[in-house]
Amino acid sequence: MSIGEVGELLRRSTVHIRTASRGRPSAGSGVIWDGDGTIVTNAHVVGKGTHLVELWDGRSLPAEVLARDNQRDLAKLKLATAGDPAAKFRTSPVKPGELAIAVGNPLGFTGALTTGVVHSVGPFEGFGRRPWVQASIRLAPGNSGGPLADAAGQIVGINTMIASGGIALAVPSPAVEDFVRNGVRPRLGVAVREVRLKQGGGVGLLIMNIDQGSPAERASLFTGDLLLGTRESAFQTAFDLADTITEAPGRIRLRFLRGDRAREREVMISLGGPFAWEAA
């Protein structure tokens, strides 16, 4: 197939998602996962409020959020309709040098197509230990949640962000499939902001909010506590905290500052719910 034909197939399984809320409305892209009306997108695309999904043929339908994983920045929505063309997700690993094709709705342009090359697959500096599909491809606001595909039109990742150097980062398809089939990862139940430490030049994660009934609340962590790391290693970014939670066998031991006093606290982690961060 030509790139034009691949792009047309991708457009049929790519949707435009709009969220209406009392705050700032948000918009982005999404991918039709199956013929039952399941949509996958980025969690940051789906804000609080009502969600409207525009399909390739112009229909606009309401959607319900079924699951949301802020750690992996993925969300699953459900349409009331069925039978729309689902995307094909690639199961074999994508390799550096392969053609990358992105379709989305950047800056309000519906179904825009861009091409590039897969740069690498693996962790990206400053974004924790999780793997990303990294591509040299031009994206813009509105591409988030849309497909990154290979030359055959099989989706290799969900476009998420632009990192330093203009490299596009996409959540790999295996992680998307794991989320759709198995749900969200363990949670701590906090929103944090990265701050620079005065001593040593390191990074701390300032707790901005704690969810009611969350593992963080049960462990008596407080808003204003500054998370430094675990007993084994220091945090460099909020992604390190997310990776630690994901990899932990049910509990983690956190080091943190409360005022000028260093403390440690063991936290039992649980499944579901939000974990969010703000970059300073």
Q: Which of 44, 84, 119, 173 is catalytic?
A: 44
Closest CA relative to residue 212, chosen from 182, 238, 191:
191
Q: What is the per-residue pLDDT for 273?
A: 44
Segment 143-193, tens digit of pLDDT: 999 999 999 999 999 999 999 888 999 999 999 999 998 877 777 888 899
Q: Which of 13, 144, 173, 214 is catalytic?
A: 144
Are residues 169 and 100 in contact, defined by beta-carbon separation less than 8 angstroms? no
Segment 231-274, tens digit of pLDDT: 888 988 888 888 888 787 678 899 999 998 999 999 988 654 44
pLDDT tops 50 at residue 279: no
Q: What is the per-residue pLDDT for 275?
A: 42
Architecture per CATH, 186-278: Roll (2.30)
Is 73 one of the catalytic residues?
A: yes
For residues 28-45, average pLDDT = 94
Q: Three-state secondary structure along 149-204?
A: ECCCCCEEEEEEEECHHHCEEEEEHHHHHHHHHHCCCEECCEEEEEEECCCCCCEE
Topology at the third CATH level for domain 99-178: Thrombin, subunit H (2.40.10)
Query: Looking at the chain, which residues constitute the CATH 2.40.10.10 domain(s)?
Result: 3-79, 99-178
pLDDT tops 50 at residue 280: no
Architecture per CATH, 3-79: Beta Barrel (2.40)
Segment 47-65, tens digit of pLDDT: 778 899 999 999 999 999 9
Q: What is the per-residue pLDDT for 271?
A: 56
Provide φ and ψ at 279, rounded to 5°. -90, 130
Give the pTM.
0.78
For residues 36-57, average pLDDT = 91
Is 84 one of the catalytic residues?
A: no
Chain position carrying tokens 């792009």:
7
**60's tokens:** 């606009």
Q: What is the per-residue pLDDT for 277?
A: 39
Query: Looking at the chain, which residues constitute the CATH 2.30.42.10 domain(s)?
Result: 186-278
**112's tokens:** 């825009």
Segment 101-149, tens digit of pLDDT: 999 998 878 889 999 999 999 999 888 888 999 999 999 889 999 999 9
Q: How far apart are the first and last CA of the chain?
A: 45
Q: Which of 51, 69, 73, 240 is catalytic?
A: 73
Is 260 one of the catalytic residues?
A: no
